């Protein structure tokens, strides 16, 4: 397997594109300051649109909580954009913090109602294995 292409790697997040598996993969490292979440998701959306990617792996183990204004932006702008691009499979490595896990459950239910196939995992390896099988 070739190594993934690194798109973002800073103190807040990492974002990769696994060309062989056609998977966008992000890792949240810490609490996100304003603008980081939007930059992360927008960069990933660019990959979905440019390369016809339908799979996303979210490593959210270190995610505390996403700011309400970022969640509103994701609902209003990002999700319609990636839905139009063909986003279909979302593997999530669950946050270890209770508040992050609670917020994720709300998003998870909403996205499933919108037609995404979403699965939760304890490890990145399990999540990637599932996405490769889709």
Whole-model pTM: value is: 0.93
The overall longest dimension of the chain from CA atoms, in Å, is 38
> What confidence category does residue 64 fall into, taking pLDDT thresholds of 50, 70 and 90?
confident
> pLDDT tens for residues 26-56?
999 999 998 999 999 999 999 999 999 999 9
Angle at 94 between CA 32 and CA 43, to 5 degrees: 45
Q: Round to whole Å and give the CA distance between 108 and 8.
A: 24
Q: Round to whole Å and give the CA distance between 110 and 40.
A: 20
Q: What is the DSSP string of 114-126?
A: TT-EEEEESSHHH
> What confidence category does residue 105 fall into, taking pLDDT thresholds of 50, 70 and 90?
confident
Assess contact for 43 and 56: CB atoms under 8 A: no
CATH fold, domain 5-133, is Transcription Regulator spoIIAA (3.30.750)
> pLDDT tens for residues 69-97?
999 999 999 999 999 999 999 999 987 77
């Amino acid at each position: 397997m070739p190594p993934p292409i690194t798109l973002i790697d800073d103190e807040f997040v990492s974002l990769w594109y696994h060309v062989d598996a056609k998977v966008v993969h992000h890792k949240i490292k810490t609490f996100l300051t304003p603008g980081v979440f939007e930059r992360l998701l927008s960069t990933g959306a660019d990959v979905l649109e440019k390369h016809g990617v339908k799979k996303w792996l979210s490593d959210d183990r270190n995610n505390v909580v996403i700011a309400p204004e970022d969640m509103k932006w994701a609902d209003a702008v990002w999700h319609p954009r990636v839905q139009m691009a063909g986003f279909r499979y979302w593997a999530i490595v669950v946050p270890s913090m209770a508040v992050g896990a609670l917020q994720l459950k709300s998003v998870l239910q909403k996205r499933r109602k919108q037609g995404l196939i979403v699965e939760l995992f304890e490890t990145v390896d399990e999540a990637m294995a599932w996405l490769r099988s889709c």
